[in-house]
Amino acid sequence: MILALSVAVGFVVGWARYRGRIFGRIAALPLRSTWLALLAVALQLPLLRAPAGSVERIRVQQVLFLLSHLVLLIFVWRNRRLTGIQILGLGVMCNLLVIAVNGGFMPIAPQTLTRINPGSLPSQWLAGLYYGYSKDIILLREQTRFEMLSDMWVIPPPFPWPTAFSLGDVLIALGIMVLLQGSAVTGRS
C-alpha cells in the first residue's frame, strides 16, 4: 500500500509541474519489457497471500519470491538508462541484499511490530516465524544481518496504514517519483 502510494504522490507532483502534459510525458517514458514488472508481482502473490506461521509451510512461495527478484533485476538492467530506474534499482538491490542474508525474507524485529500493531507486546511476536501477508520474517535485532537495511523504519498511527519500511523501500519510492516527472536518460545503453 505505502509504495503504491508513491506512484500516486509522484503523479500528483508531476501534475502540479506539467498539468495536462503529464499524461504525454508518462506515455513517452521509454520503458522496456514492462511486462517483467507484472510478472514479478505475479510471482510474489502466493507469498503475499500466505497467512502468518512457520516458514517451512511457505517454501514454494519463498522460491517464487526470490525468483521474482531475478525478474526485477532483468527489468532494471533493461531500463538502466533511466535515472529513476537507477535509483529504484539501487533500492531493489538493498532489499535483496538484506533478504538474501537473512534466510530469504525481509527481517522485522518484534519491537518494530509492536509499533505498527499498537496494543501488542514484543513477546507476542515469535522470532523465526513468517509475519503473514508480507515478505517479512520476525527476527530479533541481534539475529538480523544488515539491520540498517531491514524493515526498521516506521510510520506509526495515527497514519491510517501503520507501516514498517526499509531504506530500499525509500529508494524505490524515490525512483518511481523521479520516473513520473518524465524521462531522464543517462548515457547510452
Partner 1 sequence: MNKLNQLWLRYGTPSNLKVLYVLLALVALAVAGGAPSGGSGVGGG
- Which DSSP state fits 150? S
Instruction: Determine which residue in the list 13, 52, 97, 127 makes contact with partner 1, applying CB under 8 A.
Output: 52
Stretch that binds partner 1, among 54-62, 140-148, 175-183 (CB under 8 A): 175-183
102 contacts partner 1 (rule: CB under 8 A): no
Instruction: Determine which residue in the list 131, 139, 178, 181 makes contact with partner 1, applying CB under 8 A.
Output: 131
- DSSP string for 94-111: HHHHHHHTTTTSEEE-HH
Look at residues 187, 168, 177 and name the one whose alpha carbon lies nearest to residue 94.
168
3-state secondary structure (DSSP) of residue 136: strand
C-alpha dist (Å) from residue 5 to 8, 60, 139, 155: 5, 29, 27, 13
Between CA 63 and CA 24 the distance in angstroms is 38
Residue 120 C-beta: closest distance to partner 1, Å: 9
- Sequence-distant (≥ 6) Cβ neighbours of residue 103 within 8 angstroms: 55, 137
56-75 footprint of partner 1 as x/- string (CB under 8 A): ------------x--xx--x
Give the three cell numbers for residue 57: 509451510
Residue 145 C-beta: closest distance to partner 1, Å: 15
CB atoms within 10 A of CB 96: 18
163 contacts partner 1 (rule: CB under 8 A): yes
Instruction: Determine which residue in the list 58, 82, 91, 110 makes contact with partner 1, applying CB under 8 A.
Output: 91
- Phi then psi for residue 39, to 5 deg, are -65, -40
117 contacts partner 1 (rule: CB under 8 A): yes
Instruction: Determine which residue in the list 58, 87, 116, 139 makes contact with partner 1, applying CB under 8 A.
Output: 116
Question: Position 46: which residue type?
Answer: P
Question: Position 145: which residue type?
Answer: R
Residues that bind partner 1 (CB under 8 A): 1-4, 6-7, 10-11, 23-24, 26-27, 29, 31, 34, 37-38, 40-41, 43-44, 48, 52, 68, 71-72, 75, 88, 91-92, 95, 99, 106, 108, 113, 116-118, 131-136, 151, 157, 161-166, 168-169, 172-173, 176, 179-180
